[in-house]
């Protein structure tokens, strides 16, 4: 049995997963009519007992690497290398230093061990566990279905949002302890803007709260409900869950500007898919940035997922994607993750390159389920949203991956992203570890953001 993070349930990896029914409600939204509150302590004790008994899922053996799709020509070493220059010019010293740093970085990454799936043996029955139990029970989950990995992730998410939550909640609780008059709403506006919720979303929230004429006790629950409603808005016209279709090729293109964390996200998604029982392959189609191929290969090793790459010079990214599709189809791969070069939306040649990659996918894998996911750095706040707005006009983006939430006090940017881009957030990252990226849940995000 493995825990399928895309479906949030245990599955038998040897059996094909059944298709999701069309009427399945979003797993990341609170039920319209909340079920009767369970005895939380009893629920938590049952969940804790089950996680203590949970054994880690056995790792799938690493795939033996076949010959690379594109042959790489080895460069022979010089028989008699020249003696080093005693005082090389500054530009040469800088280049040598840069290469040394890149080599050291790659070596360090390779040595980093793959984090074993955390089991209940490392969990403590404390306030944090009770909070995660409350969040999971609030979504109608049975304690017997809860994975230790879910508990660990929710605790990590809550900790990751500390920088946003602590200043926000301390003032918010005092603010909402009384009537929501004009002065209180003005203070709330300042708090939301400081958390980078964005002016458009902030105006909407204030308007709804003012019109509701709520008692003091109902203000915070109403705010939570509004945030969840806004975060789930794009799902009204899209599938509520982004799940790779079993026994079929799925192609996910990762796009965005430089520095957003695309390559890191590729590695974490590969790990997530591998651990969830999906056969996975990575295409290293970022052939522009120095050491990008080496970096994604390192992530592939950590996730135990093979990487199709060409380390030659002047490599066409579309050719790498072509080779990866051929390899994926030949091996019956279920998920192909495509790393692409960082690009700005106003660089027409790079945008044309992205369109070429998409044409290759559509032509060579017409049966594939294709997603284009925009990776967005949460630490950029509204600046990142403005970049993303322009980017989505130039590319057919279908969803967002929000990264680096643990390093910012701007966690409210998730609301701004959805409100201003009209795109669903599909995954969020809240840490540097290979396990610190998971499918997005509006319910869990809001609870972690406003947890007391």
Residue 374 is assigned to a structural domain of this protein: yes
Q: Give the pLDDT confidence of 198-229 residue by residue, as tens digits.
A: 999 999 999 999 898 887 778 888 999 999 99
Poorest-confidence range of 61-65, 71-75, 134-138, 289-293? Answer: 71-75
Reported confidence tier of residue 97, pLDDT bands at 50, 70, 90: low
Residue 415 is assigned to a structural domain of this protein: yes
More confident residue, 34 or 419: 419
Residue 226 is assigned to a structural domain of this protein: no
Residue 232's pLDDT is: 96
Residue 408's pLDDT is: 84
Residues 6+ apart with CB under 8 A from 359: none
Residue 316 is assigned to a structural domain of this protein: yes
Q: Give the pLDDT confidence of 163-178 residue by residue, as tens digits.
A: 888 888 878 877 776 6
Q: Give the pLDDT confidence of 139-158 residue by residue, as tens digits.
A: 999 999 999 999 999 999 99
CATH number of the domain residue 376 falls in: 3.40.50.300
Residue 12's pLDDT is: 61
- Please give the mean pLDDT across all residues of the chain: 81
The range of the structural domain enclosing residue 327 comes to: 250-440
Residue 347's pLDDT is: 72
Residue 371 is assigned to a structural domain of this protein: yes
Residue 404 is assigned to a structural domain of this protein: yes
Residue 37 is assigned to a structural domain of this protein: no
Q: Give the pLDDT confidence of 369-425 residue by residue, as tens digits.
A: 999 999 999 998 888 888 888 788 777 899 999 999 988 888 899 999 999 999 999
Residue 290 is assigned to a structural domain of this protein: yes
Per DSSP bridges, beta strands 369-377 and 399-403 are: parallel
Q: Count the domains in the chain.
A: 1
The pTM for the full model equals 0.81
pLDDT at 45 over 80: yes
Residue 151's pLDDT is: 95
Poorest-confidence range of 157-161, 180-184, 195-199? Answer: 180-184
Q: Give the pLDDT confidence of 289-343 residue by residue, as tens digits.
A: 878 899 999 999 999 999 999 988 889 999 999 999 999 999 999 999 999 988 7
Residue 56's pLDDT is: 56
């Amino acid at each position: 049995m493995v825990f399928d993070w895309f479906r949030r349930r245990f599955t038998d990896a040897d059996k094909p997963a059944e298709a999701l029914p069309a009427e399945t409600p979003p797993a990341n939204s609170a039920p319209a009519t909340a079920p009767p509150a369970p005895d939380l302590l009893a629920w938590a004790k049952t969940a804790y007992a089950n996680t203590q008994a949970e054994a880690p899922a056995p790792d799938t053996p690493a795939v033996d690497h076949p010959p690379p799709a594109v042959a790489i020509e080895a460069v022979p070493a010089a028989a008699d290398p020249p003696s080093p220059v005693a005082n090389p010019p500054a530009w040469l010293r800088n280049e040598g230093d840069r290469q040394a740093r890149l080599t050291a970085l790659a070596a360090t990454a390779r040595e980093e061990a793959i984090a074993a799936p955390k089991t209940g043996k490392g969990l403590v029955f404390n306030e944090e566990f009770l909070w995660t139990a409350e969040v999971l029970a609030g979504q109608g989950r049975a304690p017997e279905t809860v994975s230790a990995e879910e508990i660990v992730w929710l605790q990590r998410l809550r900790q990751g949002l500390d920088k946003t939550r602590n200043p926000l909640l301390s003032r918010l609780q005092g603010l909402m302890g009384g009537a929501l008059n004009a002065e209180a709403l003005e203070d709330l506006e300042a708090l939301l803007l400081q958390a980078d919720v964005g002016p458009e979303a902030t105006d909407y929230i204030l308007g709804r709260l003012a019109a509701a004429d709520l008692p003091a006790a109902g203000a915070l629950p109403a705010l939570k409900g509004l945030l969840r409603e806004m975060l789930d808005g794009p799902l009204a016209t899209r599938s509520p869950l982004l799940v790779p279709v079993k026994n079929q090729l799925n192609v996910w293109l990762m796009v965005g500007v430089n520095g957003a964390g695309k390559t890191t996200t590729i590695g974490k998604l590969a790990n997530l898919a591998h651990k969830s029982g999906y056969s996975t392959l990575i295409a290293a189609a970022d052939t522009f940035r120095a050491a990008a191929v080496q970096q994604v290969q390192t992530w592939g090793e950590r996730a135990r997922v093979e990487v199709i790459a060409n380390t030659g010079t002047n490599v066409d990214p579309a050719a790498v994607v072509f080779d990866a599709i051929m390899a994926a189809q030949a091996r019956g791969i279920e998920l192909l993750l495509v790393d692409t070069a960082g690009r700005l939306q106003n660089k027409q040649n790079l945008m044309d390159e992205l369109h070429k990659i998409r044409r290759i996918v559509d032509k060579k894998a017409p049966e594939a389920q294709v997603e284009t996911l925009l990776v967005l750095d949460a630490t950029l706040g509204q600046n990142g949203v403005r970049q993303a707005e322009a980017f989505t006009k130039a590319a057919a983006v279908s969803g967002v991956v929000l990264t680096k939430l643990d390093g910012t006090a701007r966690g409210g940017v998730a609301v701004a992203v959805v409100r201003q881009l009209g795109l669903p957030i599909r995954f969020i990252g809240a840490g540097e570890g290979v396990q610190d990226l998971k499918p997005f849940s509006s319910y869990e995000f809001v609870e972690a953001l406003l947890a007391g």
